[in-house]
Structure formats: C-alpha cells, structure tokens
Amino acid sequence: MTLNQVYNVDNINEVIEILGNFGKDAKIIAGGTDIVIALKNEKISPKVLIDITKIEDLKKIEDDGEYITLGAGVTFTNIVENHLFRGNLWGLYKACRMVGSPQIRNKGTIGGNIANGSAAADSIPPLIALGSIVRLVSIEGVREISLEDYYTDPIKENELITEIKFIKPKGNQVLTFAKLGLRKALAISRLTSASLVEFDSEGFINSIRVASGALGKYPMREYEVENYLIGKKIREETVEGAIETLQNSMDERLKGRSTLPYKRVAISGILRETLESAMTIGSEVAAW
C-alpha cells in the first residue's frame, strides 16, 4: 500500500472526519518519533497521514483547581518546562525529563506515548498512579477510559486521543518515579516504577497507588504492593516487605521468562527509590 496523501489539519473535527472515512488506512502523526521510524522500516503502510501538529486545542495544559488536563499534543518538554509539575507532581516531571534525547522530548507527545502502547513508555506509570483518564473522540462520539484500563481496551482505528486528565494531588500526596535503562541518556526503559502516596498527619500511608512499566505486557497497577503498604510508615523493613511482595507477584506474572532473575534484582532498587523519594519530597511539600 502506498502513501497517497498527507492532511495538515488545524481542528479536531477535521481529524475525526478523515479517520471516519479512512479507518485503518489512516495514521496520526504528531511528534513523529515513532511513526517515522515505522514508515521507514515499512512496518506500517497507511494510505494517508493526518498531521495534527497545528491543532492548538491539543497543546493545552490546564489546572482548574480540581483537575489537571493535558492535551494529547503536549510534548515532554512542555511538561518539563512547566512549574506545575514540580513539588508533589515531581514524578511526572522526572519521567518526562528522562525520555530519550532533548530532540525526542521536544517532539514526542503524551498522546503519542499512550497510543504507541509500549510497556516501557516512561510517562505512563506516573500517569496511571495519578488515576488518569484518557479521552478519545470519533465520529461515533466520545469515550473516556482510565489509563490503567486503556491497554486492555486501546484506541480504535477511527479514534483520536484528545486529552488526559487527573485529579490534582493534595498537599499530603506526592508522586514519585524511578527508571532503570541500559544507557543513561537515550535509554528505552527496562524497568520503571511510580507511586502516588498520601500520608496522614503522623506520616503513615493513608492511600497509595503503585504503577510499574516493563514488568508485564503493558504498564499496570501493583495492587498487592499497595495493599501491603496501606497503614504503614516508609521504613527500611516496610520497603523490604514491599519489594518482596512485588517480587512474588513478578514470579507468577513472568514465570518462565528469561528476564525474570534480572528483573527480580533490578526492581528492588527501583521500588526502593520511589518509596524513599516519597518520604523525602513529602517532608518538603506535604501539609503535616
């Protein structure tokens, strides 16, 4: 199949109409960090490309006091340079800062990171930990789905991701992130972990969401770890218990995989970093 046309669009409705007409024969291009490589390697062969880089509605970063909304066209650099993503949102800032090279961060988008569906996408675990909701639009209407569930019910051929939103963390909540790659600057993640931790006035964990990347077919919540940590303080014995809990989950999930022994060892440092960072950052920004 030969590429016949590139549509340069400036509004969402036009994208939806083209997707409705062409379906699987159309592909969206925004930053192009993944799709350009796929085109060159002939892994995909769409009839049309829809360039959405001019759509301003997809580039918004909004804070209404309750929710923070990211347009799907927001780049990693946009997040890194926005002071909104410091303090108790440090984990998302850190994840976006660690994506690839400066050139990739300048071009790559949050929506593209989600749509690509990689188990090792840096921005996804912190967004899952935040309880993010993905908004998808098509000629059939609007569909909203939690990012956690997105990977079992992903984007359809006629859909466009338009935004990602999450409830703004409170003063006693803190988001952290840690990553282990093969190289420092350009590493594609081999393991990632993110945690949104809420502490009570005495420093006990009131609620927690833990999300991992590259520990399964797709990024996911680590419910066993969360259940173990509720009601505890982050101390050495608590961290060790959380690591053991996660390793036990991995033993079942990755049974028979050649990477399991490596990942069992590596995850201990990653999870430790996310939990200990929560205490460090939390002591600076939390309300207690």
pLDDT at residue 38 in the model: 86
Q: Are residues 161 and 180 in the same domain?
A: no
Amino acid at 287: A
**Chain mean position to CA 12:** 23
Binned average pLDDT, 10 residues per bin, the chain of 288 residues: 81 97 93 84 90 96 97 97 94 94 92 87 96 98 97 95 97 94 52 95 95 93 98 96 98 93 93 94 58
Are 187 and 127 contained in the same domain? no
Contacts of 177 (CB under 8 A, 6+ apart): 90, 91, 92, 94, 95, 125, 126, 192, 193, 194, 274
pLDDT of 247-273, one tens digit each?
999 999 999 999 999 999 999 999 999
Listed in sequence order, the residues at least 6 apart from 129 whose beta carbon sits closer than 8 Å to its beta carbon are 91, 175, 194, 195, 196, 209, 210, 211
Q: For the whole model, what pTM was predicted?
A: 0.93
65 and 81: one domain? yes
CA distance 181 to 288: 35
Residue whose structure tokens are 């996911």 = 220
Q: Based on the domain organization, do 230 and 281 belong to the same domain?
A: yes
19: domain CATH number?
3.30.43.10
Between strands 160-167 and 133-138, the pairing is: antiparallel
Q: What is the DSSP string of 41-62?
A: TTS---SEEEE-TT-GGGG-EE
Query: In CATH, what number is assigned to the domain containing residue 192?
Result: 3.30.390.50
Cβ within 8 Å of residue 55, ≥6 positions away: 9, 10, 11, 12, 15, 73
Q: Which domain holds residue 12?
A: 5-51
Give me the number of domains the chain comprises: 3
Residue 189 and residue 274 in one domain: yes
Quote the pLDDT of residue 140: 96
Q: Pick from 149, 167, 185: which residue ends a domain?
A: 167
Same domain assignment for residues 45 and 72: no
| CATH classification of the domain holding 115 | 3.30.465.10
Same domain flag for 139 and 63: yes
Q: How confident is the model over 119-164, as pLDDT tens digits?
A: 778 999 999 999 999 999 999 999 999 999 999 999 999 999 999 9
Residues 47, 60, single domain; the answer is no
Q: Do residues 157 and 193 both lie within one domain?
A: no
Q: Which DSSP string corresponds to 70-90?
A: EETT-BHHHHHT-GGGSGGGH
Shared domain check, 186 and 268: yes
Whether 75 and 135 map to the same domain: the answer is: yes
